[in-house]
Structure 1
């Protein structure tokens, strides 16, 4: 609906082409101001300086005035490309309000206007100073006198009244607009003020740079939300921890003490150490929401693996509803598409809905978002749009689940981000794990300050004595072990078999198949399935292995590390390759999850004791895999015992007290921590960093390929521009594996894919084993 008054005298001026809705300039501006008002209500106390919202309102009102240029209007109606920047031309109208702004406010208004699309360097390159003929002259000539009069009348008759209608009068002051003329000299003056401020920020600290980050972050967020036709920014979750318990079907006597204690610490950051399966998720949500009276602007729930993120997204949707929870990771669109297809939506409709959900997450519109910490780290590396990301993280509550899962280098990045957000954006953090060795806890204290450690009570640790540790000689693949697993399945058990590598997991599946298990009783899950098959496998595992599943039929679930984190599955017995203690504990936690089956055995094999090169890689053979060997030495002290999870931290502290291992861990952490300090010192508004974008991409080891058997289907979908469905045929492999396959001549570019450069893997693939590289050897002589 149009507000009154409305500038109907300029409804002929457009802000968007017909392809993007054909919105008028006034209509789009009103939508931007509405979203800015939503952001104001979401974080009214974002800063103590109320000038921020005052400057933002007037910036947003003027930000697109330059779109009234004749060349821009022709372009929107199908004319030739326009060579100028409309946001620079918008500066011509700052003089209409500048008399009521002090110098700092003028600087903020100008910066918000001119930066809402392009970085400062791009603007400087387009409109350099010192030329014989200033390019701003041609730009200003794009506005005729009648159009200028229309725009000035719009400010005079609508700006203050719209401020009132939007409920912004408390922090946005009225301005009595003055007549002004459009000229290159005045635009150059404002442009120079902007660039001078950007240059000055190079020598300032983080606190001085924060206003610029907020200015650009908020105006771009409001603009993008309006352009995407988001009609309302969802409010924060206004529930108490008691409401959460009720939604999770927990009666008052079922709420654990650590869950109540977490709710009581909601005003600050905290650490939680409790057994796997003892309600960590409910404790985290209780912490985030507290008594419900001061809800966080946003809640971010981070997990390390896509499978665990997808599972948590499903779980939180059931608790809070589809419109509240978002999902953001590298393959979130695929996961969302799979879920919408399950709801009997047509393929095209499901694809559109999945894309819309992805856009909502990019627009920072969901009150609760499940994501990986690497999505958060984009802001630290100053990727394009980082100011909007940091603004969204302001006054937010962050839940970090399974913090143990990160290597020391990644942990240093994460803790550096935590410290930066806590110190400069009033963020708070809830970090939880079944284990908190002092080595990790000390770095978390440095990042988060003096944070309380919430522990499960002794009676809960006693209640969760559920596993008997059994060390086994030999390997997981030994004939006697394979026979034992088959017999357990035939006796009605659900067996979890964890291997450290994909090739080894594939080998175990082959052995179990040849030993007599059928597809009905055997599932393999790892990272080398297509995204479509991976999603189907995750759903099938959840349906059969969840704690409350009604279809708990006998099964051997063979898996790699993808099952270690936050999957609500509950099997009866574990057979595992040797691994670091933190990883083993997570594997244990997928067995007898609720401690309702008495004591269940967890078998860990002594060989191979190097962890197959997966853990602690190093050129020095003594260092490589040492974490696994030291873990096995500690486990020998507890072989045959029932595991008391209250003592696990003592085990870990002894493991990391190993001098060589301790130094190896600290060296890796400190190297990255030093780099993080330099990165944080370099964060400045109005400038994304392409070089750091390359650094960020190097953090990720995955390269997408399409198996040869799916090439025709994949290309067909690309030609039809059904990109989401096409991605279901992709498989992620490591960069090292990619290089090996390329050297072997087993990779070639896909045919007829002008839209994308994708490589075809000329290696076997099937829906039961995934992509194979011929690196598993199965000796069947004993069968």
Structure 2
């Protein structure tokens, strides 16, 4: 039982003030929650007593705060100058375990703020009489005056362990003096670092991941005051109720879906998301504690999916992770008429909880998944949360060969090492790619809509034009004059800007241009305007292929690979309100088009499109199979294989608890884009940043593909200021970044 009569004096935190005893109870309360949520972790690492080890790590993790210097730093605001976790780790000397287990616990304690090698660089004690060793012995002596209180806490281990982990632990001895404690560097750090040269077994690797991951997870939540982790209270089928379900949704509600990884293919608007959630229900555990990770390629997709999940499950259960998530949440509070300070407070809290092991449903980008897999700082907590989880990879058609290669390797790790269930979904999914996912992930269950139903979905008529879209302006003008709402999709931003400048003069209604080279502030403004049917003409690039819920009357498009074209088709006659919509495809591609798409794929697409006119969903599937009959092109295969090989080489260098070589910018380079601010927004950006509103500054950024970035950099159009990259190319709020124009007056 707890000792509520002892006058606990050692402080762990201020604002609010917490004694070490109180904070220890808090972290153990969170541990109890974690054990309910992740019951399978001990099985994954063949360590039935793993939660005992985490209990001890958490119980001891802040013992070093008892040092006189640390207590003065809390009470008087003075800096102590030593790391309390180094001292805390030495208390593993009191545990009656074999050496390897004690080392694991010690490393979990020592790394709960910083990576081990970062600590070592400043505090190493490997050489006796070195400055590091002398600082350690001096700091160790500072806990003498509070040693008695630590002893009183340790006497509570049997009762507290029984209360919080359901097991009375007695395999420890209470130390008589500080001399009995261990120096974590000589005891555990050196041998762990030495293991890098010979390599460590994957199960041992996982033990260290889970140890640091759950120590961090419990400590972070306890420190933020979130001791209870919310869980799904009802079955998903009780929450999502439709008058009528699609055949795919009915299949996913079947008992046959239990303990199955799946591939799901169904047209846009067919209810794949809800179908996948019914599959989640079938693969939940009895307590409904499994975490769910929904992966999408674009931030706009994530924002929309987040809103949908919140409608189903509520804000307490749903989080999202992408580099602009804070801005999106901040804006959502501002839209609800919260003051800027209130919106900042709530957005900070939301982002903070989304990073921790708290939200049961998380909507994330593939970048966030790969960030954890590639071992970026703090990855242990993020990837530990995926243990035994349920992972949905959606919109697979949006990824190129490089990213698909990375995602397959990442999903293999989640399935085979972390025990996750996997669902892979897309509206367009060539058989060869299905086979790759089936083979690599050993997926046997393939779900698709019934052919009879698909044949009835016929919304488009194909018209091929053997010319460049740049020569199609007169044809497009006629539809505008007839009052049709026209969508034009180009393969390059430059081409889209040129056509937009010509066509906007002929529109009776509003004209809009959208592509990837708009700052977020302008991109959002344009996307909001598209909800208004007064927009008669929209010119865009691949940016319209996902996320935008738009429905135009007719489409004019550059030729692209068939799966990309199908996504463009889905933006006209989207809801089947017309008998059919005309789709005009210009087959005269230019050299710039070939910088984006493989010539072989474009030629195959054109050849197959010559055979069809009015198409239904079965025709679309057949077209995709015909175009991709030979699988990846030679160029794509090379990229796919080289990426996977590079990933496997790199992964051997990723170690938990240690700093890893790859950084965020390296991962962005691998993914293929970088964030910059157009120079015309520099003053606005700097003023907003100086005001401390780090959510608002996000609206001035835009993503730039690396080839374009390097071109501008070579031209002297990229410069850095206040750790931010700015671009000197011209910028127009209606047209976006004008890369061929050199902006000379950066103060405007």
- Structure 2 length as normaliser, TM-score? 0.91
CA distance in 2, matches of 1:472, 1:606: 6
User: In the alignment, does 2:733 pair up with 1:767?
Assistant: yes
- Give the structure 2 partner of residue 644 of structure 1: 616
Greater shift after overlay, 717-726 or 650-659? Answer: 650-659
Choose from 623, 627, 632 the match for 2:606. 632
Change (3 A) 1:422 1:759: closer
Determine if the alignment matches structure 1 residue 484 to structure 2 residue 478: yes
Aligned residue pair count: 730
Q: Deviations over 1:21-50 (max 9, x none)?
A: 343222222221122221111112322233
Q: CA deviation at 1:568?
A: 3.6
Mapping of residues 191-202 of structure 1, within 5 Å:
191-193=186-188, 195-197=190-192, 199-200=194-195, 202=198
The aligned residue for residue 235 of structure 2 is 240
Q: Does 1:36 align with 2:35?
A: no
What is the SS of the residue equivalent to 1:220? helix
Shift of 1:240: 3.3
Give the secondary-structure state (helix, strand or coil) at the position aligned to 1:602.
Answer: strand
Counterpart among 666, 683, 694 of residue 637 in structure 2:
666
Structure 1 residue 501: Cα displacement: 1.9
- What's the secondary structure of 2:423's corresponding residue? strand
2:661 to 669, 685, 690: 690
1:91: which partner in 2?
89
Matched, 1:592 2:573: yes
Contact kept? 1:300, 1:371, Cα under 8 Å: yes
Shift in Å, 1:107:
3.3
Q: From the superposition, tell whether residues 290 and 571 of structure 1 become closer, same or farther in structure 2 (CA, over 3 Å).
A: farther
The answer on 1:604 being equivalent to 2:597 is no
Structure 2: gaps of 5 or more residues: 743-748
**Which residue number corresponds to residue 161 of structure 2?**
163
Structure-to-structure mapping, 1:199-598, within 5 angstroms: 199-200=194-195, 202-235=198-231, 237-246=232-241, 250-251=242-243, 254-264=244-254, 265-290=257-282, 294=286, 295=288, 297-477=290-470, 478-488=472-482, 490=483, 493-518=484-509, 521-541=510-530, 543-544=531-532, 552-553=533-534, 555-598=536-579
**Alpha-carbon shift at residue 483 of structure 1 (Å):** 0.4
Matched, 1:53 2:34: no
Measure, in 1, the Cα distance between the counterparts of 2:177 and 2:115. 24
1:149 shift after superposition: 0.7
Q: Look up the match of 1:619.
A: none
Taking the aligned partners of 1:652 and 1:128, their CA distance within structure 2 comes to 63
Partners of 1:761 and 1:695 in 2: CA distance: 20
The whole-number CA distance in structure 1 between the counterparts of 2:401 and 2:178 is: 56
* Structure-2 change in CA distance of 1:714 and 1:517 (3 Å): farther
1:432-490: per-residue Cα shift (whole Å, max 9, x none)?
A: 112222321222023310321101002220232222122123233322133034235x2
Structure 2 CA distance for aligned equivalents of residues 54 and 448 of structure 1: 33
1:649 deviates by 4.0
Q: What is the alpha-carbon distance in structure 1 between the residues aligned to residue 48 and residue 211 of structure 2? A: 12
Partner SS for 1:574 = strand
| Contiguous gaps of at least 5 residues in structure 1 | 545-551, 617-623, 751-755, 777-783
- Alignment partners' CA distance in 2, 1:720 and 1:189: 43
State how far apart, in whole Å, the 1-side matches of 2:51 and 2:718 are.
54
How far apart, in 2, do the equivalents of 1:538 and 1:196 lie?
55
Pick closer, same or farther for the CA change 1:118–1:516 going to 2, 3 Å: closer
CA RMSD of aligned residues (A): 2.7
> Matches of 1:241 and 1:704 in 2, distance apart?
38
1:769/1:693 CA distance change after superposition, 3 Å: closer
- What is residue 653 of structure 1 aligned with on the other side? 625
In structure 2, C-alpha distance between the alignment counterparts of 1:632 and 1:645, rounded to whole Å? 18
Residue 615 of structure 2: SS of its match in structure 1?
Answer: coil
Structure 1 residues 185 and 605, CA gap change in structure 2 (3 angstroms): same
Q: What does 1:655-734 align with in structure 2 at a 5 Å threshold?
A: 655-657=627-629, 662-691=633-662, 695-734=666-705
Deviation (angstroms), 1:400: 0.9
Q: Work out whether residues 62 and 93 of structure 1, in 8 Å CA contact, stay in contact via their aligned partners in 2.
A: yes
Deviations 1:289-345 (A, max 9, x none): 228664362111111122222222222222222222212112222222222211111
Q: Which residue of structure 1 aligns with residue 746 of structure 2?
A: none
- After TM superposition, the structure 1 stretch with the greater mean CA deviation from structure 2, 72-81 or 220-229, is 72-81
Identify the residue that residue 753 of structure 1 maps to in structure 2: none
Moved more, 182-191 or 320-329: 182-191
- The answer to whether the 8 Å contact 2:111/2:657 transfers is yes
Q: State the secondary structure of the residue aligned to 2:517.
A: coil
Q: How many angstroms apart in 2 are the aligned matches of 1:537 and 1:572?
A: 19
2:113 corresponds in structure 1 to 117
Query: Do the aligned partners of 2:85 and 2:109 also contact (CA within 8 Å) in 1?
Result: yes
Distance in 2 between residues matched to 1:434 and 1:440, nearest whole Å? 13
Distance 2:522 2:178 in 1: 61
**C-alpha deviation, 1:514, in angstroms:** 1.9
Secondary structure of the residue that 1:587 maps to in structure 2? helix
Residues 240 and 312 in structure 2, CA contact (< 8 A), matched pair in contact too: no
Distance 2:728 2:443 in 1: 54
